[in-house]
Amino acid sequence: MDTVFIRELAVDTVIGVYGWERTVRQTLLLDLEMAWDNRPAAAGDELARALDYAAVAERITRFAAGSEFQLIETLAEQVAALVRAEFAVPWLRLRVCKPGAVAAARDVGVLIERGERG
Ligand SMILES: Nc1nc2c(c(=O)[nH]1)N=C([C@H](O)[C@@H](O)CO)CN2
């Protein structure tokens, strides 16, 4: 299996457990690695056989824009399920970062893997 990836996708969403966080939109950064066999797309040089990272990024951005989760764990789980179901991705690794959430830390977030690499 090969990998198709998206790095530091910035999505705006309502996210957080504190009262003030329910009234603002914050930016999360997503890193996504998706298992995919790139050989058919390369052999035919055709997007139709590729895992279209632009389409995946657009879908995640749209989903996050309409969501209002408290925990980044929940957003990560939902994004992972959506990508696997809608794009037939057998395995993925997703990192969700919430920059600025802990002032003394460069970054905080969660990292999940779902599915089988095959
Ligand atoms: N494991 C998590 N810890 C925390 C989360 C979270 O989503 N997952 N969220 C918060 C607050 O919303 C925080 O980001 C506000 O700065 C605290 N801990």
Length of the chain in terms of residues written: 118
Q: How far is the CA of 17 from the centre of ligand 1 (A)?
A: 7
Burial (CB count <10 Å: 0-12, 13-18, 19+), residue 23? exposed
Where b means 16+ CB within 10 Å and e means fewer, 12-22 reads: ebbbbeeeeee
> What is the tens place of the pLDDT at every residue in 9-56?
999 999 999 999 999 999 999 999 999 999 999 999 999 999 999 999
To test the pocket of ligand 1, the residue of 69, 98, 108 to mutate (highest count of ligand atoms within 8 Å of its CB) is: 98
Closest ligand 1 atom to residue 15 Cα is 12
> What is the tens place of the pLDDT at every residue in 52-105?
999 999 999 999 999 999 999 999 999 999 999 999 999 999 999 999 999 999
Q: Going by CA atoms, what residue is nearest to atom 5 of ligand 1?
A: 71
d(CA 106, CA 115): 29
User: What value does the CA radius of gyration of the chain take, rounded to a whole number of Å?
Assistant: 15
Q: Is the pTM of this model over 0.90?
A: yes
As for ligand 1, residues whose beta carbon falls within 6 Å of it are 16-18, 21, 71-73, 98, 101
Alpha helix ranges (H) inside 2-71? 39-44, 53-65
ipTM: 0.97
Q: Going by CA atoms, what residue is nearest to atom 8 of ligand 1?
A: 71
Domains of the chain: residue spans and CATH: 2-115 (3.30.1130.10)
